[in-house]
Amino acid sequence: SDAMVPAVINLLPESQIFEDVTGKMEIGDVVQIFQQGGMTDFSKERRLSYGYTNSAIWLRVAVENRQSSYQTRYLGSMRPELYTFNMYQVESGQVTKVWQGGLKATGQSDQALGRLPYFSVSLPPNSSQVFYFEIRSKLSLTLVLNSLSPVEYVSFYQVADVTHFFYFGTVMSLVMY
């Protein structure tokens, strides 16, 4: 029997991190840095906030499915203000798929599913897939990286949208008043 999978999984403790202070590196450069041992385990770094920075933060995480059936997960961040939040699937050192999220998304690949940068992935049974995340912000950069079940994803979005529209509805009411 398959073990119960948590609805929300914080992926940061299992990830590896690299800060590109130039902000100019591409995914191929970062994969090479990982292969040369240049990424740090997040559990050692434990830095969640980078303040106002021009750096690009790169995270690498292996997402596992220990179930005997396919599993759909939503990988991403609850931070809506991120300028770039791209996800790359990498197999044998080669990028096999690209998802784009954040305010800079161009529409040239799979997009985030809404205001928040979350991407749907289907994980094959008893497998592990490697994903890299490129994160940039023109505002203060704080790291959040989660894996959500489909039910938790819908619930999370409902709360986020109600809060978002309540806030702006209240502001508009005050302006009109």
The three-state secondary structure class of 99 is strand
Tens digit of each residue's pLDDT (9 = 90 or more) over 45-74:
778 878 888 899 999 999 999 999 999 999
| pLDDT tens-place string over residues 80-123 | 677 888 999 999 889 988 888 776 665 555 555 566 788 889 99
Dihedral sign for Cα atoms in the order 45, 51, 53, 58? positive
pTM: 0.83
Residue-wise pLDDT tens digits, 32-43: 999 999 999 998
14, 62 in Cβ contact below 8 A?
yes
Report in angstroms the alpha-carbon separations of 70 from 7, 78, 119, 122, 144. 15, 25, 16, 7, 25
| Max CA distance (Å), the chain | 60
Q: Which two tokens stand for residue 133?
A: 């995340």
Q: How many other C-beta atoms are found inside a 10 Å radius of the C-beta of residue 3?
A: 7
pLDDT of 126 over the 60 cut: yes
d(CA 147, CA 65): 12
| Residue 148: burial class (beta carbons within 10 Å; 0-12, 13-18, 19+) | buried
